Structure 1
Amino acid sequence: MAQYGPVLIAGPDTRVIELRVHGVMGTTPESLVDAVVAVDVAGDGVGRLVRPADRLRRPAPGPVLQAGGRPVPRTVEGYLWSAMTSGGFAKAAWALLLPFSLANMAHWMLPPTGRVLGGTLRSLVRLAALVLTMLLVTQLTVVSLDLVAGQWLDQFEHLRPWRGPIGLAPVLLVVAVLHKLSAIDWKVYGVQPAPRGGLLPGAQIAADPDAPALHVLHATAGLACAALLAVGGPFAPSSDGVTVVWVAAWVLIAASVLITLLLDAPTEGRWFKPWPRRILVVLTILEVVAAAALTPMPSGGRHLPGTNPTVESIAAVLAVTCVLFGLVLIPAALLARGCWSALPGSQRPWAGGWMAAPVLVIASLLGGGFGAGVGITVQQALRDNTLQLPPGYRYVTTLWGVAAVLAVVVGLIGAAVLVLPRGAKPVEIDLLHPGKPEAAKRAAQAWRIARLKRNHAHHIVLVAAGVLAAGTVVSFLMQVRGVVLPWWAQPLPGIGITALGAFAIGALRQVYVASKSPQAARQLGLLNDIAGFWPREAHPLVPPCYALKAIPELVARAREHLAEPGARVVLAGYSQGSLLAAVAAARLLDSLPAHERERVGLVTAGSPLQWAYQRAFPAVVSHDSLVELSRAMGGRWRAVCRGTDAIGGGVTTWERQAFDGQLLGVGYEGALPAAEPSEHGALVLGGDHWLPDPQHGPIAGRRWRPGILGHNDYTSDPEWDRAIAAAAGLDTAEEPLTLWNFKR
């Protein structure tokens, strides 16, 4: 196999530490290190470092690597971070706040921008995130204060004087719980230097010192909206006795919005210090208490006068903010085109760098839909036909009815597309499965499906955002003009009610099940694994960023091993773990002297770095940053790939083509030599090791996995060891056949 970089001669004290990082949905320690038994060797129980163990539960060495005709000792160690995203009710409950996570993610999806445009876009994302919180709290207030306390409790005469406090107490409790959850952060053991600015991937991933301020501002704005709804809504107080409370609510909302707009990227020394934040919290609590005590509650099952105007006004502000964000993002994306105009289409950012806009739209509509779904579910659970929700909810149900119908149609079309063969056979198939027509046929179908999913995942997001946005506009116009639904559209509100109710109940049930079942928690943790990677920048009510803990701890562990002169460390990341490993490798290279960097290697397996992260987050994991990382690694970055993997794919090569029975392609260093076949059927093109799937056959002395593996079990392939050896800078050339090794 060709070595793209210097080959380091293994001495008698040379050993390789393979530091594995798992992917989404977590795993067990045993699966991570390919052992029957594994034990912890370091960590704090949240970020765990594990190794295989012998029968006495002592850490055991891993299988040796073959390099340059001699065995090289290897230690297999795994970093387990799944406890940060799954396990327990609190972590499962984060899934309910998916809209907030999407809004926060939209901030990290912005293209590279200048100071003015970048500051404007970041401010608009933070404003949209703040208004999204205000909308959710307002919708909870509609349920608690208006639907339950104002209408349903009106039948209990002895409770009528207490309906205001009864209705606002749950809202205050929910906001307090959310505020407490948003303050949770993972503790990192050991002092780590802050990442230095540069081209390496993930250089911008750092804790935002403004996050505590955002916690307070979101809680203040949400509770002020609840108080505003209670005392009459945004346009006028419901009585003279609550005028002061009404004005105070507006002052708190205006202050929250203004301060949120003034906060920006991570910079120390913010002026919104703890004491002003505490004063704002006290004033907000006093405002809610005053609203609960003074709110004149209606009788006879009538609405609170502030319910409908408050919900509609906040929804309108959110819609306008999203539109402004999308409009400002257009020139920003156009100006950033110079960063990727020379790249082929498969390497350019999704939607030309405009992908943050549809993600923010989906976050907003999901948030509004979930709040409406909770209201509809509570209304139906109370079994009282006289209870009324705001009139605008009918148009929300119509919108979601249309979305549900379209989702079914798109699902059927997608199923048909996946089942029916389409497109040319991938050029790699015949080269990976020569003389095996049955395996080639199965592999070709799996390649087509995986390629279809990778190529069109962002199109689904764009279509969903477009349909929901168009439906929102139509619903708004129908509501303004008082249009009655035609006969053929009459079932849509019912379908929407069912969809929203199922959405709310299903989400709550899944959270409960996940809090009891580890397997269900790992499945639900998939959402947190993706969204929880990004620090709290636009929205504070998101899962604590595990990258801020995992990356420094990976770097610290690698440095511990590198303190031994003969050790070579290979960071091996699978799936989402490949992003952690790549950023950790970049940080490690950035902190090591030049003569130590050659002892660091990187292996990514089933990695979405190229087809997803590079294209979705062009300012954080840009193509240029990956080029810089590849150059810094000096050929010690190896990517283990399967074309049948819909989540992973090629990382260091693209534009692959077959010519004269050879696989050619382009990599970070330009046009590449033809791919070289390995002993067990893999094709090594540049830094990518393309594995045959299914594998060619059982190999004596190795674990065997039959069938199409796709995104699963990369370490079972014999090419894994060769990739690790190459990343360690060892000589992976085949031994010449001699009398002493021909039986192996």
Structure 2
Amino acid sequence: MSGASADKILGHPIVVRVAGDRHAGFYRPRPGTGAAGGASPGIAVEAYRWGALTAGAAVRTASMLLLVPFMLSNLAIWLRPRSDDRFGLLGALCRLLAGSLTAALMLAIIGVTVNLVGWQCVPYAECRADRAYLSWLVALPMGPRLALLSLIPLLALRLFWSIGARSARTFEGFGPTSPEPEPSEMTESLTTPGFWDDERITAWLRQIHVGIGAGTVDVSLLAGVSPGRSLIGPLLLDAAAALVAFCAVLLCLPVPASSAQARRLLRPLWVTVAVVTCLSLGYAAATPATEPVVGQLPGYQGSTGGLVATQGVLLVAIAVVTFRRQKTNPTGNRPFLRGLGTPVVAAMSVSVAAAFTATLVFRVADHLDRGHIPDPVRPNPPSYGPLEPPVAYWWAAIAGLIALLLVAAAAAATLVLTRRRRRTLAERVVGQDYPNVPADAAARAHLVREIITRSQVTDELGPMLVVFFVVSALGLATVALDLLGIGPTQLATRLSGQHDQIGVVAAYTTDIGIWVISLLVVALLLLGYRAYRSHETRRLVAVLWDLGTFWPRTVHPFAPPCYAARAVPELTKRVAALAARGPVVISGHSHGSVLAAATILQLSPAALPSVALLTHGCPLRRIYARLYPAYLGDRTLCELGDRLDWRWRNLWRDTDPIGGPLFGRHRGAQPSCDNPAAGSVDVRLRDPRAITIDPADTVPPPVERHWPYHTQPQYQAAVRELADRAGRAGTTDPVAGPEPPT
């Protein structure tokens, strides 16, 4: 795993770093202390460990959990079925959706600070009673009070900027040496020079998202201080709205081809953002005292409802465009979710963001009204004021509960309905590997069958995600109710006409939804706290970041940084240097095999003849080719084999829930390459090695599953074969490395 130590990867207690730094580096056994564990004679073993890029500093790992919605929105564009639209219509829609997530974050913080605290709570004596941290605000007129509280979302925006850009220094010096590519050139494949260099795009998007966030704060503040009282207020409100609209237009435009062009466009944007924000804060601070209006901050409920409507329209448009642009796989293997991974993950990003924002607003409202959950059916006492979150958050709570129940039901149904098929496959594998099982080993054989049965669950996740997307699509029906300001309890009361019965039931159902999504978010925060305190938990979180932060940030700039932006160029340089001195066998386990494949696709033609590839526990075909058909589909896998002249071996087990075969007819899959050499790539390992207990031992051999592979005889045989095939160059011993960790 990416957080594994170098000594565990090498199987040697004393290792030294020979290249790289503390974030990511290359390690070998210290000279004079023996060879790496299981190394073949004459093979120098070197390991590449990138763990600190995804499971490094505790504070960084914990804070990255807050960026999950942004990470999902950035991930969505890479799941599309074709690679020719990252900067076209689909890319523009995904970037607009990402911009709406930034606006949603700002609206949630505004809802807590400006709406609940400044507008609804402070004017009421019983809400601010015994709260010294709030009571002093009552001395400020409404305008200065709201202006002061508006600084909090602006500071939060700056904080998210810092978290998103936290590793710029870590990646310095590892970018591509080629000139900046044109955006159109970056849409083809992983072989494009500079494919992993995302800093120019991220810097461009980061400035635009800051404009969206600041403009959202400005619009909300100006709407709250009654701008209609003078001519200046409406003009500033129009300017702030125009700023947000202009940033949305910039998101639809192609990224400038050079940094100089980007700076020419962004300097006026920076000046505009600073001027409009300063004038908005100044105008609010200078606004005389006004009589507070009972209810929401003026314009706030309409803003949240309008944002939900915008996100709904964008999700529908993304689904339509993706569906129309998918293409059938010529091998007959259907892409995951029929190529609709982009709208599914985009809907997940919106749902997770809604859970985060609704939890924040509801928990603060619950605290301010001293434990009462306000609702139109059960209003607060008049002395408290409404203290009500907007209607959009009520619908988010009940939709979250329904989605959770339906997805759980779909998961249970999937496991039950597919168990017979998975069990049949497991029985066939066990019968093939262990044809004559003695009676005393029957329990062991049954255990192996169950492990193989459970390992196939990875291939059955599609129905759950389809159900989730359908629920999200049906949730769009609430958009009209959001805009009308009708909540779940109000709708139930109007439809039934029974205020005391149906309305109360709907109110309590909504309360359950609020608590369910709140508990889920709190559990995520506890995981972040645990990651702060525990290195082992950080390693677990790092596995998620391995999957979610592999691709460049080309949609949302506040997403966790792409570690491959350093790892792939660094591996490419290292392998090219080693290949110039002798043959190199790149050994990649699990996600390391994906990095190894990306490295080979970036190697120069001069280095390729001395390079061979050994993958084990490899998810390239089982997961990545299905999720990312545009970049790691069958065509890419065949191209990878052709580049290496098929100096490639892939070790896999039926008990492995992650890795699997890449080519051939295993598990009913059709061959993905016409080249006959592709059929020799996959090497199946029997796991466990035996069912019965060896006479020289006291226990049966263990079931290895996903780790380890490098301890098997087939691994050492593959290394020797690939090293021989790569040929000998110069007098240097061949190098088996780097072996990326899991």
In which range does the TM-score fall when normalised by the shorter chain?
A: 0.7 to 0.9
Q: Give the CA deviation at 1:248.
A: 1.7
Counterparts in 2 of 1:239 and 1:75: CA distance versus 1, 3 Å: farther
Q: Give the CA deviation at 1:242.
A: 2.2
Counterparts in 2 of 1:330 and 1:435: CA distance versus 1, 3 Å: same
- Give the distance between the partners of 1:218 and 1:502, measured in 2 at CA: 29
- Give the distance between the partners of 1:113 and 1:65, measured in 2 at CA: 40
- Give the distance between the partners of 1:578 and 1:353, measured in 2 at CA: 23
Query: Is structure 2 residue 171 aligned with structure 1 residue 187?
Result: yes
Cα RMSD for the two superposed structures: 3.4
Q: Give the CA deviation at 1:609.
A: 0.7
| Match of residue 692 from structure 1 | 686
Paired amino acid for 2:109: L
Query: Is structure 2 residue 703 aligned with structure 1 residue 708?
Result: yes
| Match of residue 21 from structure 2 | 44
Paired amino acid for 2:42: P
Q: Give the CA deviation at 1:535.
A: 0.7
Paired amino acid for 1:461: L
Does the 8 A contact of 2:410 with 2:464 survive in 1? no
Counterparts in 2 of 1:467 and 1:197: CA distance versus 1, 3 Å: closer
Query: Is structure 2 residue 564 aligned with structure 1 residue 582?
Result: no
Any idea what SS the aligned residue of 2:536 has? helix
| Match of residue 739 from structure 1 | none
| Match of residue 332 from structure 1 | 325
Q: Give the CA deviation at 1:149.
A: 2.2
Deviation per CA, 1:270-322: give whole Å up to 9, x if none. 44545335424423542553365257776376421121011111111111111
- Give the distance between the partners of 1:109 and 1:265, measured in 2 at CA: 24
Any idea what SS the aligned residue of 2:587 has? strand
Does the 8 A contact of 1:136 with 1:368 survive in 2? no
Q: Give the CA deviation at 1:579.
A: 0.7
Deviation per CA, 1:666-716: give whole Å up to 9, x if none. 46345689xxxxxxxxxxx621121112233899999x9943332222223
Counterparts in 2 of 1:152 and 1:190: CA distance versus 1, 3 Å: closer
Query: Is structure 2 residue 150 aligned with structure 1 residue 158?
Result: no
| Match of residue 311 from structure 2 | 318
Any idea what SS the aligned residue of 2:658 has? coil
- Give the distance between the partners of 1:389 and 1:489, measured in 2 at CA: 17
- Give the distance between the partners of 2:18 and 2:331, measured in 1 at CA: 44
Does the 8 A contact of 2:430 with 2:448 survive in 1? yes
| Match of residue 442 from structure 1 | 447
Q: Give the CA deviation at 1:601.
A: 1.1
Counterparts in 2 of 1:615 and 1:705: CA distance versus 1, 3 Å: farther
Paired amino acid for 1:356: T
Counterparts in 2 of 1:290 and 1:503: CA distance versus 1, 3 Å: farther
| Match of residue 515 from structure 1 | 532
- Give the distance between the partners of 1:287 and 1:654, measured in 2 at CA: 67
- Give the distance between the partners of 1:584 and 1:297, measured in 2 at CA: 63
> What 5-or-longer segments of structure 1 have no aligned partner?
1-22, 67-71, 658-663, 674-684, 733-744
The farther-off stretch of 80-89 and 415-424 is: 415-424
Matches within 5 A, 1:470-481: 470-474=474-478, 476-477=480-481, 480=484
- Give the distance between the partners of 1:444 and 1:73, measured in 2 at CA: 39
Deviation per CA, 1:463-499: give whole Å up to 9, x if none. 2121232134257558747521674655421221111
Does the 8 A contact of 2:638 with 2:673 survive in 1? yes
2:345 pairs, out of 359, 367, 370, with 359
Any idea what SS the aligned residue of 1:231 has? helix
2:655 pairs, out of 615, 622, 644, with 644
- Give the distance between the partners of 1:403 and 1:547, measured in 2 at CA: 33
- Give the distance between the partners of 1:90 and 1:36, measured in 2 at CA: 28
| Match of residue 714 from structure 2 | 719
Q: Give the CA deviation at 1:563.
A: 3.1
Deviation per CA, 1:129-157: give whole Å up to 9, x if none. 11121111111111111112222233433
Paired amino acid for 2:203: P
The farther-off stretch of 432-441 and 512-521 is: 432-441
| Match of residue 676 from structure 1 | none
- Give the distance between the partners of 2:391 and 2:151, measured in 1 at CA: 25
Does the 8 A contact of 1:223 with 1:288 survive in 2? no
Matches within 5 A, 1:117-516: 119-154=88-123, 155=125, 156=135, 157-160=138-141, 162-184=144-166, 185=168, 186-189=170-173, 192-194=176-178, 201=190, 203=192, 204-207=195-198, 209-232=200-223, 237=227, 239-240=229-230, 242-264=233-255, 270-273=261-264, 275-283=267-275, 285-287=277-279, 289-290=281-282, 292-293=284-285, 299=292, 302-333=295-326, 336-337=327-328, 340=329, 342-345=330-333, 348-384=334-370, 385=372, 386=384, 387-413=387-413, 423-426=423-426, 427-436=428-437, 438=442, 439-451=444-456, 453-474=457-478, 476-477=480-481, 480=484, 483-484=491-492, 487=502, 489-516=506-533
Deviation per CA, 1:576-631: give whole Å up to 9, x if none. 1111011112222xx142xx533211111212111221121122212111101112
- Give the distance between the partners of 2:432 and 2:626, measured in 1 at CA: 29
Q: Give the CA deviation at 1:160.
A: 4.8
| Match of residue 642 from structure 2 | 631
Counterparts in 2 of 1:197 and 1:239: CA distance versus 1, 3 Å: closer
Counterparts in 2 of 1:279 and 1:609: CA distance versus 1, 3 Å: same
Does the 8 A contact of 1:52 with 1:62 survive in 2? yes
- How many residues are aligned here? 667
The farther-off stretch of 402-411 and 531-540 is: 402-411
- Give the distance between the partners of 1:425 and 1:626, measured in 2 at CA: 26
Does the 8 A contact of 1:605 with 1:640 survive in 2? yes
- Give the distance between the partners of 1:540 and 1:546, measured in 2 at CA: 14
Q: Give the CA deviation at 1:538.
A: 0.8
Counterparts in 2 of 1:114 and 1:59: CA distance versus 1, 3 Å: same
Does the 8 A contact of 1:189 with 1:553 survive in 2? no
- Give the distance between the partners of 2:161 and 2:279, measured in 1 at CA: 17
Paired amino acid for 1:377: R
Does the 8 A contact of 2:107 with 2:217 survive in 1? yes
TM-score (normalised: structure 2):
0.82
Q: Give the CA deviation at 1:206.
A: 3.6
Paired amino acid for 2:357: G
Query: Is structure 2 residue 545 aligned with structure 1 residue 563?
Result: no
Query: Is structure 2 residue 62 aligned with structure 1 residue 62?
Result: no
Larger fraction in helix: 2
- Give the distance between the partners of 1:233 and 1:326, measured in 2 at CA: 36
Q: Give the CA deviation at 1:212.
A: 1.0
| Match of residue 46 from structure 2 | 77
Does the 8 A contact of 1:402 with 1:492 survive in 2? no
- Give the distance between the partners of 2:365 and 2:538, measured in 1 at CA: 29
> What 5-or-longer segments of structure 2 have no aligned partner?
126-134, 373-383, 497-501, 728-742
Counterparts in 2 of 1:249 and 1:192: CA distance versus 1, 3 Å: closer
| Match of residue 679 from structure 1 | none
Q: Give the CA deviation at 1:414.
A: 5.4
The farther-off stretch of 508-517 and 623-632 is: 508-517
Deviation per CA, 1:316-337: give whole Å up to 9, x if none. 111111111211222211xx33
The farther-off stretch of 401-410 and 292-301 is: 292-301
Does the 8 A contact of 1:635 with 1:727 survive in 2? no
Counterparts in 2 of 1:330 and 1:367: CA distance versus 1, 3 Å: same
- Give the distance between the partners of 1:319 and 1:531, measured in 2 at CA: 24
Larger fraction in strand: 1
Deviation per CA, 1:210-262: give whole Å up to 9, x if none. 3212101111111211221222289x945435223211211211110111111
